[in-house]
Amino acid sequence: MTDKYTSSKIVAISFLLQIFVVLIHSINLIFNFGEESLKAQRTLNSFTQNFISKGLTNIAVPMFFIISGYLFFCKIKTGTTTEFKDKFKNRFKTLAIPYLFWSLSGILLFFILQSFPFSKPFFTKDLVQDYDFDKWIRTLFYLPIAAQLWFIRDLIVLIIISPLLYRLLSLTPKAILLFSFVFWCSNTRIYLFSPESLLFFLIGSYWGISKISLQNLPRVKNSTLLLVLWIVLITVKTLLTENHFHIKWMVILLNKASIITGIIALWYFYDILYKDVDITQKRYYVLFKYSFWIYVAHQPLLNIIKKALLSVMGFTNTTSFIVYLAAPLITLLIIIPTAILLRRYVPKFYFFTTGGR
């Protein structure tokens, strides 16, 4: 269902979105150390961090769910039990196993760091050694220490109920999509998965079930103008947030609008840059294969680096901004070479931790 250009486009955009995820977690406007909590003042630093980490990068998760839904359903022909069994088997390897490995790794890393006096004060939540059985289960399966794993958790749940979603999207696609859109706009939270996960997974799923080519979606006449509109929406939303604008629903509406606009803008702006270019021949394309590793490995390492730098440099608006830029760069400079070495010298372990990617 995807030609070479579309496949490479998905790979390239997915890599960019993974960088966005790292930037989401780079925000450091609040610094917790032991029982002390410090908050940055409203300056250019806070505006920049909020603009990027709570604005520009907000399209990352929705786009991942769209891509995941599309790729899950695009090769399902009739929705038979056998087809779903094969999908479940594949996703157990590519999602469930990496989820458990990295969730356990996060717990182990925290246990080790909490065992040393010099690093113990950095931890402001429960100590691993004090976990009871219920806490262990919740941390391992539902609220992992590596917080970014919530995406895989939600995706696993959605895949478990995918036969039901397939029936609903086949029978009443407009109704189920409208319901999920209203659900997303309401900002309602449920236990199993987020409204955002549901809506954008359903959008991708619908395109996959309908066998719609991602390159044959309705075209945008001026993606550059749409890109500008996206930036304007984020800027306005950030300014309102920075000034504690009291009409909450307007801020929420701007955020939702910026996400939808940004997804469309990025998807089509890519074509302006690479329509006549074979991106697979670019030297940097080789890095794109490490997208999933960046996703699973950047936390809690990024938080550790942020706290270490801020504890040494002190917490001011200037140091906050420096760390905001430096911490993700240091993290990437650690995890990408590590991934390259693991893939080259211990490939079985590497592919086990990434679900065969």
Residue 351, burial from CB neighbour count under 10 angstroms (0-12, 13-18, 19+):
middle
pLDDT at 1 over 60: no
Confidence band (pLDDT; 50, 70, 90) for 276? confident
Q: Which residues contact 243 (CB under 8 A, 6 or more apart)?
A: none
What sign does the CA torsion over 52, 227, 253, 206 have? negative
pLDDT band per the 50, 70, 90 thresholds, residue 37: confident
199/135 Cα distance (integer angstroms): 30
Radius of gyration of the chain (CA): 21
Distance of alpha carbon 179 from alpha carbon 224, whole angstroms: 31
Quote the tokens at residue 189. 């939270």
Percent of the chain with pLDDT over 90: 71
Long-range contacts of 121-130 (CB under 8 A, 24+ apart): 121/33, 121/34, 122/33, 122/34, 122/304, 122/307, 122/308, 122/311, 124/32, 124/33, 124/34, 124/35
Whole-number Å distance between alpha carbons of 248 and 13 = 31
Q: 57-109: per-residue pLDDT in tens?
A: 999 999 999 999 999 999 899 989 999 999 999 999 999 999 999 999 999 99
Q: Which residues have a Cβ under 8 Å from the Cβ of 27 and sit 6 or more positions away?
A: 49, 50, 53, 54, 324
**Taking a C-beta distance cutoff of 8 angstroms, is the pair 111, 79 a contact?**
no
* Residue 184 identity (one-letter amino acid): W
Helix axes 97-113, 150-160, angle to 10 degrees: 150
The H-or-E segment that residue 157 falls in is helix 150-160
Residue 146: phi and psi, rounded to 5, are -75, 90
For 175-222, what is each residue's pLDDT tens digit? 999 999 999 998 887 777 899 999 999 999 999 999 988 877 777 778
Its pTM stands at 0.93
Q: Do 141 and 103 contact (CB within 8 A), yes or no? A: yes
Q: Give the number of C-alpha atoms closer than 13 A to the C-alpha of residue 184, restricted to the C-beta side.
A: 21
